[in-house]
Amino acid sequence: MPVETTAAVLRRFGEAQTVERIQLRDPGPGEVLVRLHAAGVCHSDVGQADGDWPFPLPTVLGHEGAGTVEAVGPDVTDLAVGTRVVLSSAPGCGACEHCAGGRPILCWRSLAAMSDGVLTTGGTPLQGSDGPIASYALLSCFAEHAVVAVRSAVPLPPQVSFEVAALIGCAVITGVGAAVQTLEIAAGSRGAVIGAGGVGVNAIQGARLRGAAEIVAADSLRARLEQALRFGATDGLDVTDAARVEELRRLAPERGFDWTIVAVGNADAMRLGVDLTRPGGTTCVVGLMPQDRPVPVDLLELVTYEKRIVGSAYGSLDPRILIPRIIQLYLAGRLQLDELVSTRLPLERINEAFDLSRRAEGMRPVVTLLDEASPAR
């Protein structure tokens, strides 16, 4: 029987989401039904709501989620009803070359399904009163329930709250993964993280785990620079301080950073990341730019100094491997994750949560969908 649930539906870019009753089909082969408890608001959700990238509408946004498995598809044997899970938007198809190599984020079948607003395992599971609703990022977490591929559901130990787990599903895996997996930052190295929001502070934590000697956090907001120091940054750079920024640019050929991580989707930030690296240094880009927005890069300098620019998506490693590693680091006290949750709001206040993210207030707003102590439906 289809499940009736409550969800925040985006019907037009640039307009408020509406909280509605919708239907979810039963989980099919390779799928599970999850009762969501918490969902984080990522700036990518905000960019999508504002129309930064094309996507089929209507849709239910949200790609940072955690909850409890309520039902499984007919062939699912490795996840039981009642299992606590954190959701991943990089399930992969499980059969292509990238999936076989442990890089499901590069799976072309998943990327195509994501663009079309469907699941890798079938069409969209969401249905509104006026027709199908597109599934966002293979998950659609701003709802009380979600039908997802079983490969998107990573078991979650009881010691980890659903709120923290939801953020592990994007902000943490993306930031930590960029430092630990994509760059494999060398112990004793010097680097900068540009953009000290939810993803940026986790990149800082990843650099700290790798033993970086100097980690400079760059942002325009004093509160975020102060927060970055608490997450392990060794210094803060106010990017509105034109004199200091230009001095760092001038010194880059002699005393530039070994690496930079750009954790904000802004052309000036990406250019700054490249400019501040030393000859032979690497800039890792994590932040998502609006589609077709050019970024000016001095290619003569890029070639002459043999700088590198690399992209990093979702931590570069299979989330079913990286997420459990992150959880163990958190449980061992080596990652600060509780501090990432800055605001808790119910689903009915989803648009307020998005406004907080637009204004860069706090680290991460979290939409609470079911009280931690409450039983699943």
> What is the rounded CA–CA span in Å between residue 108 and residue 96?
8
Edge-to-edge strand list for the sheet holding 18-24? 3-9, 18-24, 126-128, 131-135, 59-60
Given 311, 342, 358, which residue is the final one in a domain? 311
pLDDT at 96: 95
Is the same domain home to 279 and 337? no
Do both 133 and 194 map to the same domain? no
Q: Is residue 376 in a domain?
A: no
Does 177 fall in a domain?
no
Token pair for residue 306?
């043999």
pLDDT, tens digit (0-9, with 9 covering 90-100), for 164-214: 999 999 999 999 999 999 999 999 999 999 999 999 999 999 999 999 999
Full-model pTM: 0.94
373 pLDDT band (50/70/90 cuts)?
Answer: very low
So what's the pLDDT on residue 181? 96
Which of helix, strand or coil describes residue 64? Answer: strand
Other Cβ atoms less than 10 A from the Cβ of 251: the count is 12
Portion of the chain with pLDDT greater than 90, in percent: 92
Q: What's the mean pLDDT in 97-108?
A: 94
Q: Which helix (H) or strand (E) segment is 28 a member of?
A: none
Angle between helices 198-209 and 222-230 (to 10 degrees): 30
CATH of the domain at 7: 3.90.180.10
Domain co-membership, 270 together with 359: no
Q: Please indicate, yes or no, whether residues 144 and 93 belong to a single structural domain of this protein.
A: yes
For residue 210, the domain's CATH number is 3.40.50.720
Q: Are 9 and 132 found together in one domain?
A: yes
Domains in the chain, number: 2
160 with 287, same domain: the answer is no
For residue 375, pLDDT over 60 is answered with no
